[in-house]
Amino acid sequence: MARRAAIIGGGVIGGGWAARFALMGWEVRVYDPDPEAERKIGEVMAGAVRALPMLFEAPMPARGAISFHDSLAEAVEGAEYIQESVPERLDLKHKVYAEIQGACDPGAVLASSTSGFKPSQLQEGAARPGQIVVAHPFNPVYLLPLVELVPGEVAAPDILEKAREILTGIGMYPLHVRAEIDAHIADRFLEAVWREALWLVKDGIATTEEIDNAIRYGFGLRWAQMGLFETYRVAGGEAGMRHFMAQFGPCLSWPWTRLTDVPEFTDELVDLITEQSDAQSGHMSIRDLERLRDDNLVAILRALKMQGAAAGRLIRAQDDRMRGPLEETVPMVTVRRVVPVDWTDLNGHMNEGRYGQVFSDASEELMTHVGADQAYIDAGNSYFTAETNIKYLAETLAGEEIFVETRVTLGEGKKLRLWHEMKRASDGEVLATGDQFMLHVSLETRRSCPPLDHVRENVERLARMHAEA
Amino acid sequence: MARRAAIIGGGVIGGGWAARFALMGWEVRVYDPDPEAERKIGEVMAGAVRALPMLFEAPMPARGAISFHDSLAEAVEGAEYIQESVPERLDLKHKVYAEIQGACDPGAVLASSTSGFKPSQLQEGAARPGQIVVAHPFNPVYLLPLVELVPGEVAAPDILEKAREILTGIGMYPLHVRAEIDAHIADRFLEAVWREALWLVKDGIATTEEIDNAIRYGFGLRWAQMGLFETYRVAGGEAGMRHFMAQFGPCLSWPWTRLTDVPEFTDELVDLITEQSDAQSGHMSIRDLERLRDDNLVAILRALKMQGAAAGRLIRAQDDRMRGPLEETVPMVTVRRVVPVDWTDLNGHMNEGRYGQVFSDASEELMTHVGADQAYIDAGNSYFTAETNIKYLAETLAGEEIFVETRVTLGEGKKLRLWHEMKRASDGEVLATGDQFMLHVSLETRRSCPPLDHVRENVERLARMHAEA
């Protein structure tokens, strides 16, 4: 049975939580008095359904149902995890917690999306303060892995541990913030930059577009993969962090930023920024911008994944959690996935070369299954592809679910031949076929040689099985 | 003849400039009294040679020579562009400028890498203040496109225009900073974040690694592609920027950051950060970290390039500048490029599927050449690949230069068949062959049909030429 999460408060953040839980196989119950909640969450869900599965090579779990409830008590019933994303008013949050705690499982995690309140403020006056933690996510919640997990001093260790397990399980990175502090960690940086950016616009130094370009063509690219300190460690060169600090240290006392000066939040400032933002991005609707953002994030996250670096490592780990063993059906389903945006051209069609990659991935799955896995390769043995023949029968688009059926058509000695059919999941149409001939090689001599016994036996067994069927 | 640039002051920044200019085909003359300059620049160059060509699908221009000179006058002789990256001391910079201006072409751009000085400070007392601008780059200079171009009030318009043309030509994005201000634009943000980060470490709230994770698993990913304002515009939802500001505005007066408080730059603080940084990244050498950083940046930039977004658009534009027309040799060289890191597995070998992509790219070049270009496709006609046969003959690694020789083996009516040989540039070894059969289709009916006359004639002409050779 699916595990159950309750989402209290919809909107962009609550909707992002609902989408991530549902796509990761959880049953989701939503409570939000806003009559528009269902529509709003539906829109966030549409974005998430398109983008999140693109991050993974492994198939997603069966999607959980999202239901909407008129009573808070009904929404939290049987939930293991409750995420509160109501407006940032402490009295409102306290009222909501009292109602939740009157109805929920005392062992459930009760987490808040707040960026403005510390856990001690949330826990104050609660029936079970130890049940409440901050779990502060980042928009879009369904793609960005970071969640700041702040227990404060009174949250129960088993609640914290449970929150960590659940958040990791839905593909997030719970960053345990050990000391509670205003705005946790990341928003302190965001606030410092936002404040400075408002001054630059107000003072006429730069427009919103110039500021965005100053970020995304420069240090934004560094931060996406290393953050701040590791970047500077590298900048310090051979002498490392200590050298960097000695160089940069004195600048700290220079008057570069406006610091305490708070730009007055006047109508003029709002107008100025709104006008500049319209000039910069007004040619695109918010939906188009969201899609652009999601496509870019998917592409960046997948790029990092292929490097095995930064947030890409987190995506790999989630793949591993989701990937099950192959079943020995005839044919075998070796690949089941969606076509990600980095596999398509600007028209959204899957690039020719990626058909070959899908078949190569299919072979790799089969080889892992017969025992020619990473350890086998590390020990100096592998199959190399000698020849492939691909027939392109139909087009496929970004976001479409595909699967590959594979048959072993030859498995004798050092020879392995596979027949792949790539099909569209929605209607079973064959998109392409691949005939792949492989040779077993010694990675030491770089020459062909017979596989080790257990691999040979598995290959021969599958070949017999597939020939008979 | 190659255009000439002078690099005054080596080190990581000067070396990055030297590498970028040389790889973009400029002759580079370096002046740096540091006896280690040649070694240091050589190391930066090694990183640049590996990484920069990976960004492009087009072949790089012939690499320019880098020479080292004992006299500043000799280094700047005949240079169109002079980049000063000496230590951040104003008296030293003034002295260097006097010497440069005594020897250089008065029409050359004299640009400073300074982050700490405004152009008016640099221009003060100069023989020709109008020749001097700030061109502030970001490390690694050979990969990150951003350069803040600050003319101040006295720089000559033709010098500014020339700087802009040259910087764009070497693949950078010159961000014209219209008003001079301390630290230009980007470093004001970096300083605000750095200051706040030091407090968080000093106060024991978070370690260097936790802070890096808070950035790279969250908003760093957003900033790499949209920057600050466009991200928030999307976060505002349908109501856009105005709504976002109304929500976030009040927080500005909350005491989230430490603001004016400057953390005292004590030995204890340096020790604390150095120790944490060692614990975080000390298992890797600076060279390993640089390579990791460069691989990640290449992968992210290429991911954005495939989306046609953000910094990826700049890389595409540079490709277009570098790409020349195909020559009608027999066979035709349709692809010449290096194998980028996003095409290889973790062992550094080019993935099987990418061989197909290289051949698909080769076909696209040939099709563009015969007139089946984007405009032709937009008008509703195209060639679709029906079948490919690939033979894998040898492995190739990230960073290796490869090229493809293509012959038209059939060009009759709606049929087009190409024979590709992919070779390693260093020794001409054939890495793979591809036999590709294509059919001309109407994108409207999705059925095969003859090509338009000019395309048919070109295809038939090439087929005859290749059959005869």
Q: Could you tell me how many CB contacts below 8 A there are between chain A and chain B? A: 459
Q: Which residues pair with B155 in a beta bridge?
A: none
The whole-number pLDDT of residue B346 equals 66
Q: Does B238 touch chain A (CB under 8 A)?
A: yes
**What is the C-alpha separation between B17 and B25, in angstroms, rounded?**
13
User: Nearest CA to CA, how far is A286 from chain B (Å)?
Assistant: 6
**Torsions phi, psi for B424 (to 5 deg):** -80, 130
Q: Does A43 touch chain B (CB under 8 A)?
A: no
CB contact under 8 A, A221 and B192: no
The whole-number pLDDT of residue A271 equals 84
Mean pLDDT of A23-36: 96
Mean pLDDT of A286-293: 89
Q: Which amino acid is at B144?
A: L
Mean pLDDT of A155-161: 97
Q: Which residue of B has its CA nearest to A235?
A: B139
Q: Does A284 touch chain B (CB under 8 A)?
A: no
**What is the C-alpha separation between B296 and B288, in angstroms, rounded?**
12
Q: A-contacting residues of B 366-425, CB under 8 Å?
A: 384-392
- Residue A429 CA to chain centroid, in angstroms? 29
Mean pLDDT of A351-379: 93
Which residues in chain A are closer than 8 Å to B139, comparing Cβ atoms? Answer: 235
CB contact under 8 A, A385 and B352: yes
CB contact under 8 A, B198 and A280: no
Q: Does B1 touch chain A (CB under 8 A)?
A: no
Q: Does B289 touch chain A (CB under 8 A)?
A: yes
The whole-number pLDDT of residue B177 equals 96
The whole-number pLDDT of residue A254 equals 53
Which residues in chain A are closer than 8 Å to B309, comparing Cβ atoms? Answer: 292, 295-296
> How many CA atoms lie within 13 Å of B67's alpha carbon, on the beta-carbon side?
15
Tokens of A180: 């509670």
CB A30, CB A10: distance < 8 Å: yes
Tokens 């067994």 belong to residue: A461
pLDDT at A110 over 50: yes
- Choose among B193, B204, B346: nearest Cβ to A193: B193
**What is the C-alpha separation between A92 and A88, in angstroms, rounded?**
8
pTM score, whole prediction: 0.92
**Residue of A233, A316, A344 to mutate, testing the B interface (most B Cβ within 10 Å of its Cβ):** A233
The whole-number pLDDT of residue A109 equals 98
At residue A203 the predicted structure's pLDDT band, cuts being 50, 70 and 90, is: confident
User: Topology of B325-468 in CATH?
Assistant: Thiol Ester Dehydrase; Chain A (3.10.129)
User: Nearest CA to CA, how far is B79 from chain A (Å)?
Assistant: 27
DSSP symbol at A254: S
**What is the C-alpha separation between A419 and A405, in angstroms, rounded?**
8
pLDDT in tens, A382-425: 999 999 999 999 999 999 999 999 999 999 999 999 999 999 99
Residue stretches of chain B with pLDDT short of 50: 255-256, 258
- Choose among A208, A228, A234: nearest Cβ to B197: A228
**What is the C-alpha separation between B220 and A146, in angstroms, rounded?**
11
- Choose among B186, B233, B249: nearest Cβ to A219: B186
Q: Alpha-carbon Rg of chain A, whole angstroms?
A: 26
- Choose among B248, B286, B341: nearest Cβ to A237: B286
- Please tell me which residue, A334 or B286, carries the higher pLDDT value: A334
Binding site listing of B = 9-14
Name the nearest CA neighbour of B221 among A123, A143, A254. Answer: A143
Which residues in chain A are closer than 8 Å to B256, comparing Cβ atoms? Answer: 182-183, 187-188, 191
Helix (H) or strand (E) holding A142: none
CATH number of A4-176: 3.40.50.720
The whole-number pLDDT of residue B210 equals 95
A4-176 and A325-468: identical CATH topology? no
Binding site listing of B for NAD(+) = 9-14
At residue A250 the predicted structure's pLDDT band, cuts being 50, 70 and 90, is: low
State what percent of residues in chain A have pLDDT above 70: 95
Beta-sheet strands, E only, within B9-80: 27-31, 66-69
CB contact under 8 A, B138 and A219: yes
pLDDT in tens, B274-304: 888 888 888 888 888 889 999 999 999 999 9
ipTM over 0.85: yes
- Choose among B211, B234, B310: nearest Cβ to A289: B234
With 0-12 CB in 10 A as exposed, 13-18 as middle and 19+ as buried, what is A435? middle
CB contact under 8 A, B144 and A242: no
pLDDT in tens, A302-322: 999 999 999 999 999 999 989
Contacting residues for B350 by C-beta, under 8 A, at least 6 apart: B339, B343, B344, B395, B396, B397, B398
CB contact under 8 A, B198 and A306: no
**What is the C-alpha separation between B199 and B263, in angstroms, rounded?**
6
Tokens 């550094």 belong to residue: B348
Q: Which residue of A has its CA nearest to B218?
A: A146
Name the nearest CA neighbour of B179 among A432, A468, A305, A207. Answer: A207
Helix (H) or strand (E) holding A68: strand A66-69
The whole-number pLDDT of residue B251 equals 56
**What is the C-alpha separation between A131 and A135, in angstroms, rounded?**
12
Mean pLDDT of A335-339: 95
How many CB atoms are closer than 10 A to CB A419? Answer: 17
State what percent of residues in chain A have pLDDT above 90: 77
User: Nearest CA to CA, how far is B78 from chain A (Å)?
Assistant: 31
Mean pLDDT of A73-77: 97
Q: Alpha-carbon Rg of chain B, whole angstroms?
A: 26
CB contact under 8 A, B304 and A309: no
CB A236, CB B288: distance < 8 Å: no
The whole-number pLDDT of residue B264 equals 67
pLDDT in tens, A422-444: 999 999 999 999 999 999 999 88
CB A188, CB B257: distance < 8 Å: yes
Query: What does the domain layout of chain A look like in residue ranges?
Result: 4-176, 186-283, 325-468
| pLDDT mean across residues, chain A | 92
- Choose among A213, A224, A280: nearest Cβ to B221: A224
Which residues in chain A are closer than 8 Å to B300, comparing Cβ atoms? Answer: 221, 224-225, 300, 303-304
Q: Which CATH architecture fits B186-283?
A: Orthogonal Bundle (1.10)
The whole-number pLDDT of residue A253 equals 53
**What is the C-alpha separation between A145 and A170, in angstroms, rounded?**
9
**What is the C-alpha separation between B447 and B467, in angstroms, rounded?**
28
